[in-house]
């Protein structure tokens, strides 16, 4: 048995457009982000998810409710972005070029990427028990997606960060994962 996951990143925020790392701040969808979420609704119109899980941060909630309003939507704090601590709301350039420094070491007054991995691992155990043989969607952030690459695709954190689609701009409408 298995759980099929289709992972979607929240739509573009005003912080994204300004080059800020939102982290655990709520974030607000920009005009572009609102349009992206509306287009995503059309893209997934033929999908039939058992449930849609989203981070409990506002930018993910808004993206989920616009694009997936016909499905049950469940907020889960384990799907939050990494807590960048003192860097929440600061220019992403402060650390985005050296993300590997925070794999094991926490951001100042925040958490590490391995902390995110532990949260996502707990979420995976939950869906294995409650959503076996189902198809779900997730609407969340960069760090939880990288954690799924580590946990489900057997990548190291260095590989996941190095191969991150955000570096190449290789966005797609949903990344597929299987939990078995």
Q: For the domain that residue 32 is a member of, what is the CATH number?
A: 3.40.50.1240
Per-residue confidence (pLDDT) for residue 167, from 0 to 100? 76
CA count, 13 A, side-chain hemisphere, 24? 13
What are the residue ranges in the chain where pLDDT is below 50?
Answer: none
Based on the structure, what is the number of domains in the chain?
A: 1
What is the model's pTM? 0.95
Per-residue confidence (pLDDT) for residue 171, from 0 to 100? 67
Rounded Cα distance between 44 and 27, Å, is 24
Per-residue confidence (pLDDT) for residue 65, from 0 to 100? 98
Q: Which helix (H) or strand (E) holds 179?
A: strand 175-179
Range of the domain at 153: 3-179
Rounded Cα distance between 95 and 143, Å, is 13
């Amino acid at each position: 048995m298995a759980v099929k996951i289709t992972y979607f990143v929240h739509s573009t925020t005003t912080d994204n457009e300004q080059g800020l790392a939102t982290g655990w701040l709520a974030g607000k969808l920009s005009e572009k982000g609102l349009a992206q979420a509306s287009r995503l609704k059309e893209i997934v119109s033929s999908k039939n998810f058992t449930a849609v899980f989203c981070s409990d941060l506002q930018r993910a909630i808004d993206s989920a409710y616009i694009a997936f309003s016909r499905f049950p939507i469940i907020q889960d704090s384990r799907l939050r972005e990494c807590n960048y601590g003192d860097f929440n709301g600061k220019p992403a350039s402060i650390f985005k070029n050296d993300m590997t420094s925070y794999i094991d070491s926490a951001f100042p007054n925040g958490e590490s990427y391995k902390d995110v991995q532990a949260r996502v691992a707990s979420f995976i155990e939950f869906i294995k028990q409650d959503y076996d043989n189902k198809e779900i969607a997730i609407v969340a952030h960069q760090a939880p997606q990288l954690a799924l690459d580590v946990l489900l695709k057997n990548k190291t954190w260095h590989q996941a960060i190095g191969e991150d689609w955000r570096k190449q701009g290789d966005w797609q409408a949903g990344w597929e994962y299987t939990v078995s």
